[in-house]
Structure 1
């Protein structure tokens, strides 16, 4: 099922968009909202929505700044920009960052429907293109490509490595590479990279006295809070709890 995320700092705007989408009767899941650009980036990594409805003017990080980061990591995400400002420069930047449509508030239901139809059509076109790509890769070549991808990941684990980076390194379409990676490793790209980063973080916690925020930065996380959430997801302990527990067992 197609997943959609609303990125908007105004609660009433978020509620109005949810109601409008519900009335349009799409077969899609509207996942948890994001209230600003920074939160959008974190939640896209966790929830992997296919479509974003994103405001431009938000605190912390605006919609176009967030889109620039999101499209690097998830190039097949379809973003529809919402704004109260009919500014040509914003529209030009939006096109540069690969948005599907640029809508002025207040958005009439039919205009939103046209934009959503365009995003869904683009998603389907991606699927058709990628299914054609799948048919021409023999198993031996696929295995070699995944080996090259894993080697690249291990050498760049301390950077903010993205699926698009690795797919580009092995010259594959990102969406096809994502499916191939999971079929060959048993994990999604994000899961695999997260596990490798957490493994490296555990070594750093045990072997050094580096503060948590410094380890987070060194491993390419956006901030210490996000690093701690990912660490807890895989270890059921915060980084500090893990370090204290290890030190207690060593005594």
Structure 2
């Protein structure tokens, strides 16, 4: 039985009532999150980040002294490992999207529903779990989720870990399910098996490495996308593209 990790979070929002409402909603969720600080602007938020080192941060887009866009920009430059979520109204939704350039993981429209907040934070918890453990045990209690929510969380897990050796049976064991059950649930909502999904992610990553890094050894490309056996990597790549990695690189080489 693993020990559930607790992740620290901060809320940066200039309107006190909205800030407290967000905290109240987060506290109502069954998530391993601990509030460590709150601020009313980006300038104060940065000072708190330095002192408290949170794992996750929720910030409004429009604030005095330093707005959310500049805040997330500085956050990304100095603390790229912190997961940031932007809050915005419909009028500044396009403005909020610009923050994606600064590594923002998600943005939520006001007024924030508990459901959307829960879905967003579940995904971020999985990302954090994945970063803190090679075979991450999810801290989210999946037994309280619907089948569709389980499939979404598995998708996030696979997306965060496809470059590593992934064992669906090991993941299933950690979650308290069978691998067959997880495969059926995933395929029902994603229209493909977990194995096919992982393979698609790996092949797409390999394609960009082959094209953008022409001097990178084929064996190394395979290792970087989760295939330690170079021959197996070449075989899987050809099965999915009708070309061996070397052939794909030559065909798509840009002069």
- Given the two structures, how large is their TM-score scaled by the length of structure 2? 0.49
